[in-house]
Amino acid sequence: MVRLLIVGPQGSGKGTQGVRIAEAFGVPVVSTGDVFRANVVEGTELGVQVKEIIDAGSLVPDELTSAVVRDRLSQPDAADGFLLDGYPRNVGQVLHLDQFLAGRDESLDAVIALVVPRDESIERLHKRAVDQGRSDDSEAVIANRLAIYESETAPILGVYGTRGIVDEIDGVGELDTVTDRIFAALDARGLVRSS
């Protein structure tokens, strides 16, 4: 059983790395972005609510996000662990997650912090916008999301840092090289991969 969080600025590769890590440990990736996008595509009540927020480059309110994550972590496939991607995004959400996990007598095992310079993130996001045709990767939206990350999400690393569970990983380089750096850090914590 392993409970992980992957954190990094937009364009840091955390989605791609998260999938690799989750597969290696045999746990689901719980990505708030994916859950929200799926709801938007399906036209659910939640999807309609979040579409306007996402299109503006803003973040979904904490209570709504936390409720979605609690529901997802309560599903059977997450009973033996998970990898969170995109949550918690701020200190308020850290408290929500702490309360939820404490209620299950659990806590996070490690926080993987992908470190990527701002100009590298922007370059990757521009490429993604072209490749995937994503409306949420426009110039203004990218700048807004990076500013929100720096002001709201980066501080959670301070909270988790005091718990001694943060592994800062250089996120620049070949995909496999970055994956190897992550696995080396998790191996050093004694976290055993299933594959």
Catalytic residue, from 134, 163, 189, 193: name it. 134
**What's the start-to-end Cα distance of the chain, in Å?**
13
Active site residue 51: no
Catalytic residue, from 3, 72, 145, 181: name it. 145
Phi/psi for 167 (5° steps) reads -115, 110
Catalytic residue, from 3, 14, 20, 124: name it. 14
DSSP string across 90-110:
SHHHHHHHHHHHHHTT---SE
Catalytic residue, from 3, 20, 72, 89: name it. 89
Active site residue 14: yes
Catalytic residue, from 37, 70, 118, 128: name it. 128
| Beta bridge partner(s), residue 30 | 84
Short-list 188, 147, 186, 159, CA closest to 18: 186
Active site residue 181: no
Active site residue 134: yes
Secondary element (H or E) of residue 77: none
Could you give the residue numbers annotated as active site?
14, 89, 128, 134, 145
